[in-house]
Amino acid sequence: MNAALPSRDARRAEALESFRERGMPHRRFEHWRYSDLRAILDAGQVAQSGTAAWHLEKAPEGVETFDLGKPDAPDWVMRNLGTIGARPTMKEASLAFADGGIALRVPRGRKIAEPARLQISSTGNVRVLLVLEEETSLTLLETHTGDAGLLRNVGVEIALASQAKLSHVRFAASALKSISVEHIGVTQARGAQYRAHFANFGSRLSRTELHILLQEEDAEAHLSGVNVLGDEGHADLTSHIEHVAGNTRSTQLFKKVAGGHSRAVYQGKITVREGANGSDSRQTAKALLLGGRAEADLKPELIIFADDVKCAHGAAVGDLDPESLFYLRSRGVPEAEARHMLVRAFLEDAVAEIENEELRAAIWQDVEHALPHAMRAAR
Amino acid sequence: MLEIKNLHVAVGGKEILKGLTLSIGEGEVHAIMGPNGSGKSTLSYVLAGREGYEITQGSISYRGGDLATMKTEDRAAKGVFLAMQYPVEIPGVTTLTFLKTALNAQRRARGDSELDAMSVLKLVRQRATALQVTEEMLKRALNVGFSGGEKKRLEILQMSLFEPKLAILDETDSGLDIDALKLVAEGVNALRAPERAMLVITHYQRLLNYIVPDRVHVLAGGRIVAEGGKELAHELEAKGYAHIVKEPA
């Protein structure tokens, strides 16, 4: 053990202090405008919710794991835990209150074909740490199953060394009584690739926040995601990608279908830091509102301190195209089926971003399952 | 097969068709010609059942039934087909998937069994060759990135697959060069049949050189103002619409 590193207890104490000082996020705080957590939850409830249960379905061969609830963490855990990306208040809470979690390490040079499947299945706080060393690759499927109780608060840290490649697919089933908060911090060294897809089917309040640091040249982040929301479902995806070094690339493609009284949120901030010339970033967020009672808030944001950069962004909220609907119906496709076809078509390019065929098919199944709720007329 | 009587149609509260009467029998090919703004496209949309086209007066009888009260998709299943002037691009739906969905929806509505993917593919390939619709086009998203000619060929391919009883061709010649026009016209002519009626809507006489109509109607100001045989089209081409379309007194 490295004596220079603070102990886990010391880190957790510091995180607790930080959470107590800053308190619960609310409407005018840390970009929580569309997800007022303080209005429905207090700090005491966060502390009382304890540690969430997680389950790693047999770690793929070549992947090292460590249970964060156990003593004597190895060096690779201690060097990274609590150090990656921003530390917003709920993330501090997850470190302070989770008595466990899972850490995964892919040692240098290992390419892992079989996906690692992580399930988080109960209420509480939990931490996840992924360390991919040089020239490695891994696919992580993170599944959030139905009932998250009152609160599920997940703090994820991902360290990608040079030429490491992580494909991350996060699936959150509909859980309309639960509050779900997750913060994902990612650091990327030279040539590292982070591909992530977020399929979220709505919670009472669901917040997925990303902070990605493209720290060295040729690092790339490609984010995509779909929401299919109905009833009172809510899904907020907030991302901050920082192009720290030049010649770094990022793309984002989010498609949101909102019916019933649901609310879909996308806030995407791109920062291109001074000197990060040759950076290329693109972000697209589109929402399809089915019925007049759903809401979508799409906010792309660019902050650029470098000169020679390419940045493009677009956001659009709309309804199904009546021309397309007429075209399909005039070919004999019944109206309900035509609507369904067009909603699927709207989501198509975002789902196509998932590279793993099996996971892509699984997400389509979940979309199919969620669509009837989203397409049901709001009462 | 199609009897339109004193048809008045309003779009957004504005009356576009003002007492149109037209009758088409089985196996006949009729042409509707008319200047811009005469109501040609309105007629095609109201027959196909587009929302927002309100029939304020008159009737449309199709094969003994009231067409006006039928849903858009039911009209298609009962054999009404509109080849559109501007076919819609739908990203995210491949052309072949669309053809299969539409074909099976119509079959289902008629009480026929659905075709599996292989049978559909076989049928599509068989019909696509003559229209030079390539495998590559079938794999692309519906009409996305298609040229004007490719879009029109795909419309005629659909007509060939769905085998309608009444085919309405709305400005099928617009945007086509002469070679593309010939190809499309040959496709249409191949589908002429004793049980199939066609209504060819066009601004110019050019298309009617290749799809020769039995009857020509001139539409102006929302009404049929002149009727005749195929020679009427030539007369219009030579003398212009102003010659026939008299200003209302």
CA A255 → CA A226, A293, A305, B185, distances in Å? 5, 18, 29, 41
- Closest residue in A to B105 (Cα) is A333
Instruction: Pull the structure tokens for residue A243.
Output: 């192009």
Q: What is the DSSP string of A3-34?
A: TTSPPHHHHHHHHHHHHHHH-S--TTSTT-TT
Would you say how long chain A is, in residues?
379
- Closest residue in A to B100 (Cα) is A333
Distance CA A205, CA A97 (A): 20
| Segment A356-376 mean pLDDT | 94
- CB < 8 Å from B in window 330-349 of A: 330-335, 337-338, 341-342, 344-349
pLDDT at B249: 37
| Dihedral angle of Cα A220, A314, A286, B154, to the nearest 10 degrees | -100
Is B9 within a domain? yes
Count: domains in chain B = 1
Q: Please check whether residue A60 is in contact with residue A116, taking contact to mean a CB–CB distance below 8 angstroms.
A: yes
* Residue-number span of the structural domain to which B226 is assigned: 2-244
Q: How confident is the model at residue B233 (pLDDT cuts 50, 70, 90)?
A: confident
Other beta carbons less than 10 A from residue B240's beta carbon: 11
- Cβ distance of B88 and A329 shorter than 8 Å: no
Would you say how long chain B is, in residues?
249
Q: Is the dihedral of CA A124, A45, A86, A4 positive or negative?
A: negative
Q: Please check whether residue A235 is in contact with residue A203, taking contact to mean a CB–CB distance below 8 angstroms.
A: yes
Q: Please check whether residue B83 is in contact with residue B156, taking contact to mean a CB–CB distance below 8 angstroms.
A: yes
- Cβ distance of B92 and A328 shorter than 8 Å: no
Helix (H, G, I), strand (E, B) or coil at A50: coil
Nearest to A78 by CA among A156, A8, A161: A8
- Cβ distance of B105 and A329 shorter than 8 Å: no
- DSSP annotation of A318 reads E
- Cβ distance of B50 and A321 shorter than 8 Å: no
On the question of pLDDT at B17 being above 50, the answer is yes
Is B103 within a domain? yes
Does residue B248 or residue B91 have the better pLDDT? B91
On the question of pLDDT at B102 being above 60, the answer is yes
pLDDT mean across residues, chain B: 93
User: B200 vs chain A: nearest CA distance in angstroms?
Assistant: 17
| Segment A273-299 mean pLDDT | 94
Antiparallel, parallel or unpaired: β A165-172 and A193-200: parallel
Q: What is the DSSP string of B220-233?
A: ETTEEEEEESTHHH
- DSSP annotation of A236 reads E
pLDDT at A2: 52
Q: Is B120 within 8 Å of chain A by CB?
A: no
ipTM of predicted assembly, 2 dp: 0.96
Any idea where the domains of chain A sit in the sequence?
8-375
| Segment A175-188 mean pLDDT | 96
- DSSP annotation of A246 reads S
Helix (H, G, I), strand (E, B) or coil at B237: helix
Considering only CB atoms, A332 lies closest to which of B50, B87, B102, namely B102
pLDDT in tens, A127-178: 999 999 999 999 999 999 867 678 999 999 999 999 999 999 999 999 999 9
CA B193 → CA A5, A57, A126, B130, B209, distances in Å? 86, 64, 71, 17, 19
pLDDT in tens, B193-229: 999 999 999 988 889 999 999 999 999 999 999 999 9
Give me the total of CB pairs closer than 8 Å, taking one residue from chain A and one from chain B: 78
The CATH number for B128's domain is: 3.40.50.300
Q: Please check whether residue B176 is in contact with residue B148, taking contact to mean a CB–CB distance below 8 angstroms.
A: yes
Is B12 within a domain? yes
- Cβ distance of A324 and B88 shorter than 8 Å: yes
End-to-end, the C-alpha distance of chain A in Å comes to: 60
- CB < 8 Å from A in window 153-192 of B: 158, 162
Considering only CB atoms, B72 lies closest to which of A326, A345, A347, namely A326
In the block, residue with structure tokens 């042409």: B31
Is B249 within a domain? no
